[in-house]
Amino acid sequence: MFGAETWVLSKADELRLGVFERKILRRIYGPICEGAAWRSRYNEELYRLYDKIDLVTTIRMTRLRWAGHIVRMQDNLPCKKITLDKPEGRRRVGRPDLRWMDRVMRDAKRLGVRNWKSKAKDRDGWRQLLESAKTLHGLWCLGVSLHLVGIKEVNDCKNAWRESFKIGESCFEVTLCARYRAYET
């Protein structure tokens, strides 16, 4: 996805991308024959077969990776000046447009990183942080990041498993499920 690190996606855009991705995966993996009837694969089955991070998560990761590059750039480069400086004046009346930096800060917050600009200055630490978030499958799936959906639903899911991980200084233990994807516990 060329240039995805500069995209600013609304919630509706993220949902549309998720629907599109599942549609393509259903086409690739095909239907299932149960008895004499054919049926489409459920989302849970698609996520189990496609054991990689989803499209929206990939966009978020590339956005954070690019934000790290910008923070580490020299101060006199135009790209850094345009991205990190605050424009003067007032914004238009009405709902404000989505801003790239607001999305970066939201993604960093979901990742559990405080003061992300200072952490991004350490290239190796920032790369390790992003890789550890990428290896935790489904943590950001469909915009759900460590979202408490309900222990009852997790216990009812047959394919749930527990996973411990560390992001930065924070340690988490999460119950993951292919259908609901992530639960904080």
pLDDT of 141 reads 40
In a domain, 145, yes or no: no
- Residues near 2 by beta carbon (within 8 Å), at least 6 away in sequence: none
In a domain, 142, yes or no: no
In a domain, 49, yes or no: yes
In a domain, 168, yes or no: no
In a domain, 34, yes or no: yes
Between 139 and 65, residue with greater pLDDT: 65
Token code pair at residue 19: 């629907």
In a domain, 153, yes or no: no
pLDDT of 110 reads 84
In a domain, 116, yes or no: yes
Q: What is the tens place of the pLDDT at every residue in 8-65?
A: 999 999 999 999 999 999 999 999 999 899 999 999 899 889 888 888 989 999 999 9
Pair 111, 76: CB distance under 8 Å: no
Q: Is the pTM of this model over 0.85?
A: no
What's the total number of domains in the chain?
1
Q: Could you tell me the residue range of the domain that residue 21 belongs to?
A: 4-85+99-137
